[in-house]
Amino acid sequence: MRKQTFKMNGRALLLGVIAAAYPAMGYTAPAARVDFATGNVKAIGANGQSRTVVKGAQIEQGETISTNNGRAQLRFTDGAYVSLQPESEFRIDQYRFDGKQDGNEKGFFSLLKGGLRTITGLVGRSNKQNYQVSTSVATIGIRGTEYTIQYGQSVTGTVGEGEINVCNGAGCLSVTNGESYYVQGQELKPVITNKRTDLPPTPPQPPVPGIRAGEEYSPEGINCDFVPCGSPTPTPPLTGTGNFNVAFATQAGTTNVITNTTATLNNGQLISFNRGGSIDSISGPYSEVGGDNILVWGRAAMNSGGELIHYAVGVPMLDFTPVLRMTGTYTLMGATAITDSSNNPIGKLTKMTMTANFTGITSASLAVDMMMNLGATPNKVTQGSGFFSGGSFTFNANDGGSSGVNTTVSGTGFFAGTKAERAGFVYSVNDAVQAINGRGAGGLQQTSLTPTPVPQ
């Protein structure tokens, strides 16, 4: 990754955020949306007036988000994700994104106190000096990076993936994957430290006070007797150009995952994506497209080389801390038909479960159980294991038994969503008895997330 440096302005701490699926928006449009808020979170305008913010609220340029005893997550119009810790103040000084990288986009922010976790994105990539967040201690230059900041009298942080440059009046320091940094003051050069900045997870929320027998409340604590709660509004599939994880399987049977890459989607249809430095465009017809605003899957033809592909695309994970030393269970949301090398359907994945024992920021051990109709064999069961490392996971499964292994599955994928609420995957399958080879894609949804028991 190309190293970046930024001019000092005396009090700056630079933040970059990830591109995700948003339509083009003008300069006067809201800068961000609140994806999550709990506790007494306020938005304070430049005129000093404050308002309480809840999920779905729009945040304007010039406003300061004060979390007080709560937490909040912001998603910017370029797909930015910023997760704010309790007792934090984060101000949007200047923001502009018109849906494209033309050098006019800008994002200048101030972290006044507290902590945050973020992933970098489009704004500032074509002109890196147009994206900056400030404190009184240091500036940080970032691109294509997930990292944390904790700011009080000093600044500390840890890089999850990518690279940052930490600068102040005493000099600059490059910090890469897994490294942590410490800045004691404006006149002391930033240094590498062995102490990680692992920001605490969201604490358990207390029950809604005053609930009486027979009353129904929404998750936000609204009495449904006074305000009809109704059913959740279905979320549309991913749409727009942004920073995503992409898994794809080709007709030749190869499976790949590219994390944090630029892709364009239209209601779940993958239009194009950056495949290792070159842009691959996808052409129809599309089949079995499904998913939501976190994860989608489908199959289609690819213009470059005429490959037929299965794909899964998802919003990269952001807040890793809540899943550390946790066990997540997942069930199948949907999947494409299993196809042969000519893209002819030869089967269907009918059931899949996965258990993920998270042990680190981007690490977990996996157990998978799959059921598929393959060729003339109904309800073929394969079981296996895998590992999550460095942003993607792999797994292998088979139907081994007393009669030997007849069917093998090899797959790869990624977790998606703030707390790994989804998992997208692609796979290849081989049936030795029927002499068939196939490939497919699909999505899993998290059904539970519980603490992993500590061995006694």
Is residue 256 located within the same domain as residue 170?
A: no
Is residue 326 located within the same domain as residue 404?
A: yes
Would you state the pLDDT for residue 256? 93
Is residue 125 located within the same domain as residue 254?
A: no
**The domain boundary residue, chosen from 193, 226, 259:** 193
Is residue 339 located within the same domain as residue 437?
A: yes
In a domain, 317, yes or no: yes
Is residue 177 located within the same domain as residue 264?
A: no
Q: Which two tokens stand for residue 226?
A: 């006074």
Q: Which residues contact 415 (CB under 8 A, 6 or more apart)?
A: 314, 317, 356, 388, 393, 422, 423
Would you state the pLDDT for residue 121? 67
- Give the amino acid at 146: E
> Which domain does 365 fall in, by range?
240-451
End-to-end distance of the chain based on CA atoms, in angstroms? 43
- Give the amino acid at 369: D
In a domain, 225, yes or no: no
In a domain, 264, yes or no: yes
Would you state the pLDDT for residue 120? 67
Is residue 245 located within the same domain as residue 138?
A: no
The angle at the Cα of 191, spanning 189 to 195, to the nearest 5 degrees, equals 145
> Mapping DSSP to helix (H, G, I), strand (E, B) and coil, where does residue 305 land?
helix
In a domain, 371, yes or no: yes
Would you state the pLDDT for residue 304? 66
Q: Kindly give the parts of the chain with pLDDT less than 50.
A: 1-27, 202-234, 322, 455-456
Provide φ and ψ at 128, rounded to 5°.
Answer: -60, -25
In a domain, 80, yes or no: yes
In a domain, 350, yes or no: yes
- Spatial CA neighbour of 449 closest among 355, 315, 332: 355
- Spatial CA neighbour of 310 closest among 253, 360, 367: 253
Would you state the pLDDT for residue 318? 66
Is residue 188 located within the same domain as residue 267?
A: no
DSSP string, 316-357: BP---GGGTTEEEEEEEEEEPEEE-TT--EEEEEEEEEEEEE
In a domain, 394, yes or no: yes
Would you state the pLDDT for residue 224? 43
**The domain boundary residue, chosen from 162, 178, 193:** 193
The tally of domains found in the chain comes to 2
Is residue 283 located within the same domain as residue 396?
A: yes
Give the CATH number, domain containing residue 154: 2.60.120.1440
Supply the DSSP symbol for 129: G
**The domain boundary residue, chosen from 174, 193, 212:** 193
Decide: 57 and 72 in contact? Cβ < 8 Å: no
Is residue 303 located within the same domain as residue 171?
A: no
Is residue 130 located within the same domain as residue 279?
A: no
Is residue 249 located within the same domain as residue 186?
A: no
Provide φ and ψ at 159, rounded to 5°.
Answer: -95, 125
Is residue 124 located within the same domain as residue 180?
A: yes
In a domain, 21, yes or no: no
Q: Which two tokens stand for residue 37?
A: 């808020």
